[in-house]
Every structure is written in C-alpha cells, then in structure tokens.
Amino acid sequence: MDARLGAAAAYVRPGRAAADIGCDHGKLSAWLAGSGRCPRVFACDLRPGPLEKARKTCAPWADKIELRLGSGLSVIAPGEAEEIIIAGMGAETIMEILEAAPWVFDPRYNLVLVPATKHSLLRRWLARWGFDLRAETLCQAAGRWYAVMNARYTGHCFEPDGLYCLCGRMQGQPGAGDYRAQQCGKLKKYRRGLAPGPEAEAVDRLIEEMEEDKWPQL
C-alpha cells in the first residue's frame, strides 16, 4: 500500500467490519483483513473490472472479504459495516455517495475519506452537513499531496471559513507548508477566472492570509 492507503488504514478502528468503497485493486481491503485489523471487509466497486482485480488480491482472505458490485454505499445495508472508507475518488463523488446514504449521518459510523481532488470542497461539505473532521493526515504519494480525512457525524453544522476549507487540520504536519503553498496556488488560479467584484475581493483577502502564514483557528 502507498502512504495514502497506509494513513487511511490507521484511522480504521480495529475489530469492526469495514466497507472499502471504490476498492479497485483491493489492496486496502486485503490489508484490513490480512492484518487482522477487521474481522470482516466488504470490498465494493461500481465496475466489474476493478472488482475482478480485487477478487485476485483478496483471494488469500476470501473467508473474511466479501465483494460487492454497485454504486457507493447502496451495496451496504445500514449497520453491516461501521468503518466506511472512500478513497481515490473526486470530492464531488464522495459527497454524492454520502448524500445517497443518509444512514451514515450517525455517530456510530467512522468515515475515512481520501479525496483525489478538491479537498477544500469536501471539508466544507463535512462542516455544513454536521460531520466533525476529527483528524487529517497529510501524505504524499506518486508526487502529489493527499489529505486523508477522518470524520464522524455529530449533527453540529457550521459554515467554515476559507482558510479552514483550504488548509484543514494540516498545521504542524511534515509538509504542511508545501501543502498550503499548493492550495494557495490553486486559489490564485481560481482567482484569475473571477470578474472584479465582492467574490474576487474576498479571494484576494484569503490569498493574503495564506501568504502571511496564517492557519485556521481550530
């Protein structure tokens, strides 16, 4: 497993069933079952091809791993797995998957989310929908920065500020400065597409804050 999947596995609570949504190659499912961390794992994917790859990877632990074909959490019944991992998809897809499964809006479920893109969008979504972003791990894989997020539903919804959305809980972690510079670069690119007006002014203020080395108040 790469650093990203290793960090995701570390957020999975031992001794509980896990659902690996979008399992593809099946490496995370295999590790969760093979290491003994999870007594039961559901390796799930939208497409038959990836699921076939997972079947091969997971074959040594076939007694503990069940493969399921279908979209998002539609293949998992409420309560079947308390550890829900969704890794390697864009933030919008992750958000759609969660919105389509209202049963995960419950503190018993432990979410481990690894967006492939748009980390800030997912942080904002979590805050707005009442999920506490308990912790994040910053890691690098294949030359890119990844945010591995651990969240649980509390019902406390809030509107996060821009600094929080962009930087999350990364302050103090190795590579945090580089991560913030990358996020700032993306924001500047977004700014170039804006017409003069209140939004452009707000983005300018946010860019200034990021360049002044500010971090979100947590």
Instruction: Give the binding range for ligand SAM (CB under 6 A) out of 19-27, 33-41, 55-63, 185-193.
Output: 19-27
Among 57, 88, 149, 150, binds ligand SAM (CB under 6 A): 88
Q: Are strands 41-45 and 83-89 parallel, antiparallel or unpaired?
A: unpaired
Among 93, 110, 150, 183, binds ligand SAM (CB under 6 A): 93
% helix / strand / coil in the chain, to the nearest 5?
A: 45, 20, 35
Give me the least distance between CB of 93 and ligand SAM, in Å please.
5
* Interacting residues of 83 by C-beta distance below 8 A, sequence separation 6+: 12, 13, 16, 17, 18, 19, 38, 109, 110, 112
CB 215 within 8 A of CB 172: no
Among 14, 36, 39, 47, binds ligand SAM (CB under 6 A): 47
Among 38, 65, 72, 110, binds ligand SAM (CB under 6 A): 72
Backbone angles phi, psi at 198, to 5 degrees: -60, -40
Using the rule CB under 6 A, is 24 a contact of ligand SAM?
yes
Residue 89 or 165 with smaller CB distance to ligand SAM: 89
Among 58, 94, 97, 111, binds ligand SAM (CB under 6 A): 97
* Sheet with 41-45, side-by-side order of all strands: 65-69, 41-45, 18-21, 83-89, 110-115, 144-153, 131-141
Instruction: Give the binding range for ligand SAM (CB under 6 A) out of 15-23, 121-129, 169-177, 195-203.
Output: 15-23
User: Which residue in 3, 17, 5, 1 sits closest to 143, CA to CA?
Assistant: 3
* Interacting residues of 90 by C-beta distance below 8 A, sequence separation 6+: 115, 116, 117, 118
Residue 47 or 56 with smaller CB distance to ligand SAM: 47
Among 12, 87, 148, 151, binds ligand SAM (CB under 6 A): 87
Chain positions contacting ligand SAM, by CB under 6 A: 5, 21-24, 44-47, 50, 71-72, 87-89, 93, 97, 114
